């Protein structure tokens, strides 16, 4: 292959790579800080918003076993242990309201309005 042909191939390849799409940045989603202590919960009935597909993080400090239930198009369940700094994450796949509840304490922790 002659030098000018090789340069043409390199130039074409470089142009094709340069025209590619930029990597998409993931936008951080909401974080719900949950504390369960001596039968009390904080927060209760918090309201948040998120976008479809955005990660939603639940950070839990608890002194008791319980179960977090996320009611959305695809329900999620997370076992809460009597530990600090537990982290659970999920993504809402469809617009609408998503309720986050504690099963044993029978309380709503948060409602997340998921927008398109």
**What pTM, to 2 d.p., does this model score?**
0.75
Residue 28: the pLDDT is 84
The domain locations on the chain are: 31-115
96 pLDDT exceeds 90? yes
Q: At the topology level of CATH, where does 31-115 sit?
A: Immunoglobulin-like (2.60.40)
Find out whether 91 and 73 touch, Cβ atoms under 8 Å. Answer: no
Residue 71 zone, left/alpha/beta (φ > 0; ψ -120 to 50; rest): beta
pLDDT in tens, 70-95: 998 788 999 999 999 999 999 999 99
pLDDT in tens, 8-61: 444 444 444 444 445 455 668 999 999 999 999 999 999 999 999 999 999 999
What is d(CA 107, CA 2) in angstroms, rounded to the nearest whole number? Answer: 75
Burial class (CB in 10 A: 0-12, 13-18, 19+), 53: middle
């Amino acid at each position: 292959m002659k030098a000018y042909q090789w340069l043409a191939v390199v130039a074409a390849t470089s142009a094709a790579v340069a025209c590619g799409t930029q990597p998409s940045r993931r936008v951080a989603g909401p974080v719900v800080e949950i504390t369960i202590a001596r039968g009390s919960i904080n927060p209760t009935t918090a309201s948040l918003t998120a976008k479809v597909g955005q990660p939603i993080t639940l950070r839990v400090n608890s002194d008791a076993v319980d179960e977090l239930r996320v009611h959305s198009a695809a329900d999620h369940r997370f076992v809460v242990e009597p530990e600090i700094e537990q982290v659970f994450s999920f993504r809402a796949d469809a617009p609408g309201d998503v309720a986050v509840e504690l099963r044993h304490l029978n309380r709503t922790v948060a409602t997340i309005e998921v927008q398109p």
